[in-house]
């Protein structure tokens, strides 16, 4: 494998983290309309989105951090950073018209983060060699 320059390596590792953070920020910048009725399907869709977007953020953070520290430290820092980002994103929503920050949303974000951490630590090592090697090429396993 060719060696990358420091700048390209930084962009390769942290570019996806930055871009995904922008996606999350953009989603939370859109005002939501007020509904007179509570719709369960809307609630489930939004909370599932919270879980999935923070699962993905945690995986990207782990991918970037695991290059510079041990896998255990990378995972711990990934979880902490993702949860901190979730909290700051909720604060940001407090300044968005029609939105309000809630601890419940941080809880759903944390669930996504913990699912990703559990998967990285406990499930990826159990995968057969071929998919594990493919994930290693992506910098995840």
Domain ranges (residues) in the chain: 6-26+38-138
Q: How far apart are CA 103 and CA 130, in angstroms?
A: 40
**Residue for token digits 């699962």?**
55
Q: What is the tens place of the pLDDT at every residue in 7-60?
A: 998 999 999 999 999 999 998 888 765 544 567 678 888 899 999 999 999 999
Q: What is the tens place of the pLDDT at every residue in 57-87?
A: 999 999 999 999 999 999 999 999 999 999 9
Beta-carbon-side half-sphere exposure of residue 53 (alpha carbons within 13 Å)? 24
pLDDT of residue 59: 97
**pLDDT confidence tier of residue 139, bands split at 50, 70 and 90:** confident
pTM: predicted TM-score of the whole model, two decimal places = 0.88
pLDDT of residue 98: 84
63 burial level (CB within 10 Å; 0-12, 13-18, 19+): buried
Q: How far apart are CA 67 and CA 16, in angstroms?
A: 15
Which of 53, 116, 52, 44 is closest to 79 using CA atoms?
116
**Residue for token digits 């990378």?**
74
Q: Are 28 and 98 in contact (CB under 8 A)?
A: no
Q: Are 66 and 136 in contact (CB under 8 A)?
A: no
């Amino acid at each position: 494998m060719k060696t990358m320059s420091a700048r390209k390596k930084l962009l390769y590792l942290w570019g996806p983290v930055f871009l995904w953070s922008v996606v999350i920020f953009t989603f939370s910048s859109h005002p939501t309309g007020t509904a007179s009725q509570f719709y369960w399907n809307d609630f489930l869709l939004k909370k599932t989105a919270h879980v999935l977007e923070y699962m993905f953020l945690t995986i990207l953070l782990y991918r970037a951090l695991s290059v510079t520290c041990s896998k255990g430290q990378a995972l711990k820092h990934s979880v902490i950073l993702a949860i901190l980002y979730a909290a700051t994103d909720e604060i940001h929503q407090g300044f968005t018209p029609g939105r309000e920050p809630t601890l419940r949303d941080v809880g759903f974000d944390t669930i996504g983060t913990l699912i990703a951490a559990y998967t990285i630590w406990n499930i990826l090592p159990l995968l057969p060699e071929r998919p594990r090697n493919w994930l290693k090429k992506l910098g995840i396993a």
